[in-house]
Amino acid sequence: MRVGVRANLLIAPADRQRTLDLAAALGIQWLGQQVIWRDFEGMPGQRDWRFLDEAVHEANGRGFKLLLSVTKAPAWAQSGSRIDPAAYGDFVAALVGRYKGQVQAIEVYNEPNLAAEWGGPCSATAYAALLKEAYRRIKAVDPAVVVVSAGLTPTGVSDGYTASDDVGFLQQLKAAGGLAFCDAVGAHVSGFNNPPNAPVNSRCGENPMYGCHASFYILRYRELQAVAAGKPLWVTECGYASTRDPVPGYEYAQDNPESILGDYLAETLKLLRQDKAGAVWWWNLNYAPLAPRSEQAAFSLVDANWSPRLHYQRLKAELGG
């Protein structure tokens, strides 16, 4: 199973080197980086690759393989729930061509089952059209690149607008023919404040906020894997939040003392390996020092001072770093 970590590499050179040092010490081979499309192509065809050039070059120089998650359409490429597939295809084709041989996988968008990420009402049909075009354009440039469908976020809500249930959205995507246009099926998995091996819905009575929906459990990945039906499941974000000072909406992170996260991480890796998942990226490596008052910071493997947290050390031991 491929094991990696998600990180932000589009940062100051000294911080990027520190991040790469921390990743290398873990003993992993893969890094994941989000590419915000609208930041790189403000107007059609006007692309500025400078910051990504530096990050890709330096990560490659340290021997890492890269998964790039290309997401967040510029306003000119989106109308309601539809993102222009041709415009997205142009962008990812240009990206793959520029970094041919340096980027090994592309994740086509991020959490399209959440309106805040998709930029409009959730639509599996619209996402299927985007995935199909992206797959066709990427493979035409570099057939070796692994195309991963977007990781779907655990929501606990499915109102057809704000959010769609991850398994339900994946079923709709499959019905729309979307899974024919990816090499691996993406997933985002978190246990919230439920242990990794807790059966789904098993803690409803004692944990009513996050125990009564299957998407709040690590083992939810088995349901996604079943829908994927033979396609490898790539868990492109996986993790637990732990903090004594959570931002609103992430209060459950107070229930996860840092002392137990190492055990949670080790058990999660064991489960994914046991069920033959294709890949997992831990979410995340370095957001605590980069964005200390963000929800991402609570998931970070290092603290605000760049010091490895206890679960970083456990991950390093598990991976032989």
Query: Residues 148-178: pLDDT tens digits?
Result: 999 999 999 888 789 999 999 999 999 999 9
Q: Cα(196)–Cα(265) distance, rounded to whole angstroms? A: 8
Query: Residues 260-290: pLDDT tens digits?
Result: 999 999 999 999 999 999 999 999 999 999 9
Within 164-285, residue ranges assigned H as helices are 166-175, 221-228, 258-274
Kindly give, in sequence order, each residue whose CB lies less than 8 Å from that of residue 113, ignoring residues fewer than 6 positions away: 122, 124, 152, 153, 155, 163, 164, 165, 166, 169
Kindly give, in sequence order, each residue whose CB lies less than 8 Å from that of residue 119, ignoring residues fewer than 6 positions away: 72, 73, 78, 83
Compute, in degrees rounded to 10, the torsion defined by CA atoms 20, 25, 30, 36: -30
Q: Name 67's bridge partners.
A: 32, 105
Phi/psi for 147 (5° steps) reads: -95, 120
Q: Cα(112)–Cα(267) distance, rounded to whole angstroms? A: 28
Provide the token pair at 264: 């949670």
Helices 221-228 and 166-175: crossing angle in degrees, nearest 10, is: 0
pLDDT at 92: 98
pLDDT at 270: 97
User: What burial letters (b/e) apply to 35-52, b meaning 16+ CB within 10 Å?
Assistant: bebeebbeeeeebeeeeb
Share of the chain above pLDDT 90, in %: 96
| Cα-to-chain-centroid distance, residue 131 | 16
Provide the token pair at 306: 């760049």
Average pLDDT in the chain: 96
Query: What average pLDDT does this structure show over 216-236?
Result: 97
Provide the token pair at 135: 């797959």
The band of 214, judged by pLDDT with boundaries at 50, 70 and 90, is very high
Q: Is the pLDDT of residue 310 over 90?
A: yes
What string of H, E and C letters represents the secondary structure of 20-76? Answer: HHHHHHHCCCEEEEEEEHHHHEEECCEECCHHHHHHHHHHHHCCCEEEEEEECCCHH
Residue whose token pair is 């957001």: 287
Provide the token pair at 230: 């033979």
Q: Check the CA dihedral 245-166-109-60 and report its sign.
A: positive
CB 218 within 8 A of CB 191: yes
For residue 225, give the 3-state DSSP assignment.
helix
How large is the C-alpha radius of gyration of the chain?
A: 18
Q: Is the pLDDT of residue 208 over 90?
A: yes
Q: Is the pLDDT of residue 297 over 90?
A: yes
Query: Residues 63-93: pLDDT tens digits?
Result: 999 999 999 999 999 998 899 999 999 999 9
Query: Residues 105-136: pLDDT tens digits?
Result: 999 999 999 999 999 999 999 999 999 999 99
Q: Name 149's bridge partners.
A: 108
pLDDT at 126: 96
Threshold 0.75, pTM exceeds: yes
Domains in the chain and their CATH numbers? 2-319 (3.20.20.80)
Share of the chain above pLDDT 70, in %: 100
Q: Is the pLDDT of residue 190 over 90?
A: yes
Q: Which residue from 318, 319, 288 is spatially nearest to 301, judged by alpha carbons?
A: 288
